[in-house]
Each structure stands twice: as C-alpha cells, then as structure tokens.
Amino acid sequence: MKRLVILSGAGISAESGIKTFRDMGGLWEEHDVMDVASPEGWERDKELVLNFYNARRKQLLDVKPNQGHLVLAELEKYFDVNIITQNVDNLHERAGSSKVLHLHGELTKVRSENNEDLIYELDHWEVKLGDTAEDGAQLRPHIVWFGEAVPLITTAAEICQQADIFIVVGTSLNVYPAAGLIDYVPQSAPIYLIDPSDFKLSRKVHHIQEKATTGLEKLKELLVVG
Ligand code: APR
C-alpha cells in the first residue's frame, strides 16, 4: 500500500464545533496564549490554566468527528495512513484512525508537573488544584506549551520522509517545528493542501481551497477513483 501521511491542525475540527486558534473568534482572541499555554503562565496561575483545559475537555464530550475525520479513517482501506496532528482533541481516533501521532499533546491525558514521564489517561473532564500524581506533584495538562520541547518531532519527521503522498489539512502552519515537517516530504511526493483560506507554501502544492469536510471528500475521489 502507498504511504499517505497527513499533517492536520485545528481547522479539521472546526466543523465539529471546536474553535481554531487564529481565525476570527478563535481561542487566541479570547485568551492570552502566554497565560494559558506557557510554563510561565502555569507558574503564575495554575488554576486559570487548569480551568482553560477543563473547559476544552468538557466540550470534547459534546462534539463528534466530522466527515473530514471520517474520510481520513476510510482511506486506511486504500493506503497505509499516518496522521500527524497538532490537535489535542481525540476526534481522529474516535473517527477510527489507527495511527495518530499527537505532536502537541492530548486533552484526555495529564501528567506530573515534576516528571513528564508520569502520564495518566483521564476518565473525567475536571482536574483541580491539589490533584496529584504518584510522586505527590500537582497534575498538569499533558499539552506541549509554547517554549516547551516537542518530544515527538523526530518521529514525525521520519514518517514524513516515508510519504508517497502528503496532505496538509486545517493548519495555518504558523507554529514550528510542526510547520517545518513539510520540508521532510520527498520531492517525488505530491502535496495536497486543504484549507479555505489562501496562503503560499515553500513547496508546490495542489490547493483544494475548501473546508475539510468537502475538500477531503473531493481528495478521496481523486486518490481512490483517480
Ligand atoms: N476546514 C479546513 N480548514 C479550516 C477550516 C475548515 N472548516 N476552518 C478553518 N480552517 C483553517 C484556517 O484557514 C487556518 O489555516 O485552519 C487553519 C487553523 O489555523 P490555526 O488556528 O493557526 O490552528 P493550527 O495551525 O492548528 O495551530 C497550530 O498553534 O496554538 C497553537 O498548539 C496550538 O496546535 C496549535 C498550533
């Protein structure tokens, strides 16, 4: 099977009702990113940060995968599919995708604030001050914050180097090192960009200027039916 690698961002979850970060009315318009998504913000006000992610985790209970997520899961019938996502939601997995790498962490997990290897899967949405890990340290969201390392970036780059076909969907490619992954894709691999907004990339791409739901349906026709 040909290797299909997808780099996804907040835009693929927009039609499920999850706000993106930088679009009009996006999360970063409502919240100071350095208050809720940085180690400094965490040290300043842990309760503010916990409540920010509690609200997003609670919302996850009310949303479901959209046709965009479902198409990517369906493509596993025809391709060896790897999804590299910047999203911390679990909609790719809930749509049935089997190989999903979360570059920026996962909402449904927490970890010790003193030991990044003590990671726990949550079965509830609310994490409070005083909730501790087995080392007695406060639990923090298992999310990669601005200024923190991206532990899985090397694995992601290796996956991109193996791509026969590469798809970029729903990301503004503003955030590095994720945005740099496109440079690891072999020159021989066609790149498809699915995004309603118009922006230029460093590589020649086939831009399907549509939303994820309709754009991925079109791409599936192109790739499967040909
Ligand atoms: N379908 C497809 N793409 C869409 C849709 C849609 N329905 N709606 C919006 N988009 C596109 C926008 O045009 C934009 O290019 O999705 C992109 C969203 O970009 P951002 O909000 O910047 O989100 P993302 O690229 O995922 O952010 C990267 O930044 O804030 C950090 O850690 C956070 O993982 C996140 C990272």
Query: What pLDDT digit, counting tens, does each position of 190-210 carry?
Result: 999 999 999 888 899 999 999
What's the pTM value of the predicted model, to 2 decimals? Answer: 0.97
Ligand 1 site residues (CB inside 6 A) read 9-12, 14-15, 20-23, 26, 86, 104, 170-172, 174-175, 194-197, 211-212
* Residue of 12, 13, 15, 22 to test ligand 1 pocket, by largest number of atoms within 8 Å of CB: 22
Q: What is the mean pLDDT of residues 161-185?
A: 97
CA atoms 198, 202, 207, 210: torsion sign: negative
In the predicted model, is pLDDT for residue 56 greater than 80?
A: yes
**Confidence at 225, pLDDT banded by 50, 70, 90:** confident
HSE-CB at 138 with a 13 A cutoff on CA atoms is 14
Strand 105-112 and strand 191-194: the pairing is unpaired
Q: What is the mean pLDDT of residues 100-119?
A: 98
Query: What was the pLDDT predicted at 201?
Result: 86
Q: Are 216 and 170 in contact (CB under 8 A)?
A: no
In the predicted model, is pLDDT for residue 20 greater than 90?
A: no
Burial class (CB in 10 A: 0-12, 13-18, 19+), 6: buried
In the predicted model, is pLDDT for residue 226 greater than 80?
A: no
Q: What is the mean pLDDT of residues 107-115?
A: 98
In the predicted model, is pLDDT for residue 24 greater than 90?
A: no
Q: Separation of 129 CA from ligand 1 center, angstroms?
A: 30
* Annotation says 104 is catalytic: yes
Q: Are 7 and 178 in contact (CB under 8 A)?
A: yes
CA 162 to chain centre: 20
Nearest CA to ligand 1 atom 35: 86
Say which of 69, 102, 104, 142 is annotated catalytic.
104
Neighbours of 63 (CB within 10 A): 15
In the predicted model, is pLDDT for residue 128 greater than 90?
A: yes
Strand 100-102 and strand 191-194: the pairing is unpaired
* Residue of 30, 53, 148, 172 to test ligand 1 pocket, by largest number of atoms within 8 Å of CB: 172
Q: Which residue has the higher pLDDT, 23 or 192?
A: 192
Task: Indicate the range of 8-17, 28-37, 113-122, 171-180 predicted with least confidence.
Answer: 28-37
Identify the DSSP state of 210. Answer: S
| Residue type, position 18, single letter | I
